[in-house]
Amino acid sequence: MSGCFISIEGMDGAGKTSVMSTLVQWISTQGHQVITTREPGGTPLAESLRELLLAPREECVDEDTELLLMVAARTQHVKTHIQPSLAAGQWVVSDRFFDASFAYQGGGRGMSNDRIATLHQWAIGDFAPDLTLLLDLPVALGKARVAGRGEEETRFELEKMAFFERVRIAYLARAASERHRIVIIDATQSPEAVQADVVRALQTHFARAVSELGQ
């Protein structure tokens, strides 16, 4: 039996790390093996590309270069890590996947969604998560949470508020167009309320799989 693939989406500060823990705990209680990963990254080569993409630099990074590096990291991630893990029966939970490209490169940078979709079709075909949880919150709140961490900002985090407003709009538009796969979670709630919504989404989406497991 092949595993299931779940992605977590949302801007920095939305609480993806906490939700990742909730997912791992729930999946494990259902009797499945689960591994966690992230994008960009997930393999040694993809992690190297992550460093190139996130490091602040004086040189202007062309938007096409950014997208191509993102897709290159994702292709390596999918073909050498995610797909083999799923084929082995493991469940995979990823901190971001291809919806992030439609949000950040599409919404944030203003690139054509058709162009992004065509590139992904060429790179990974129809491969997609079984379920995506979109953690949504106002941009200002997310920025405040990130600032409270005291960490060095990445190249993306240095973008202006308007950039992240466009990212959020693009994420919500993506969710509206793929309701069968993407579930929006209100990330402004308490951690306990977010956890309850996440578990509810899992139970609803994987009700059939859970039922089959118990037979």
Give the domain CATH number at 101.
3.40.50.300
* pLDDT for res 152: 76
Going by pLDDT thresholds of 50, 70 and 90, the confidence category of residue 208 is low
> Is the distance from CB of 141 to CB of 97 less than 8 angstroms?
no
CA dihedral 14→188→92→67, nearest 10 degrees, is: -40
Residues 6+ apart with CB under 8 A from 160: none
Give the domain range for residue 179: 5-214
Count of domains observed in the chain: 1
Q: Mean pLDDT across the chain, nearest whole number?
A: 93
Q: Which helix (H) or strand (E) holds 100?
A: helix 99-101
Q: How many CB atoms lie within 10 A of CB 93?
A: 24
* pLDDT for res 11: 93
Residues 6+ apart with CB under 8 A from 202: 23, 26, 27, 131
Q: Which tens digit of pLDDT belongs to each residue from 117-163?
A: 999 999 999 999 999 999 999 999 998 898 877 777 888 888 899 99
